[in-house]
């Protein structure tokens, strides 16, 4: 299995996919959830309706 990460070149942020990482449809968020996420607050998984991104899923998607 590959060791994958998400990289943002503007901020230099690297997020390992071994961390809990989610793909979120911002149009589906309940009011106030995006602001709470941006502020670094803990948001329950069911509140942000995201899809879990991890090494296993992304390896299968890109390198199957």
User: For 31-42, what is each residue's pLDDT tens digit?
Assistant: 888 888 788 777
How many domains is the chain partitioned into structurally? 1
Measure the CA–CA gap between 61 and 48, rounded to whole angstroms: 22
Task: Please give the pLDDT value at position 20.
Answer: 83
Task: Please give the pLDDT value at position 36.
Answer: 83
Q: Who has greater pLDDT, 4 or 45?
A: 4
Average pLDDT on 45-62 reads 78
The predicted model scores a pTM of 0.62
State which residues form the domain around 55.
5-63
Q: What is the H or E stretch that residue 38 is in?
A: helix 33-38
DSSP string for 7-34: EETTTTEEEETTS-EEE--GGGPPTTHH
Q: How many CB atoms lie within 10 A of CB 38?
A: 8
């Amino acid at each position: 299995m590959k060791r994958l990460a998400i990289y943002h070149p503007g901020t230099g942020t690297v997020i390992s996919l071994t961390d809990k990482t989610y793909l979120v449809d911002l149009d589906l968020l309940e009011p106030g959830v995006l602001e709470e996420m941006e502020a670094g607050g803990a948001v329950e998984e069911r509140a942000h309706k995201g899809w879990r991104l991890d090494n296993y899923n992304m390896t299968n998607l890109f390198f199957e």
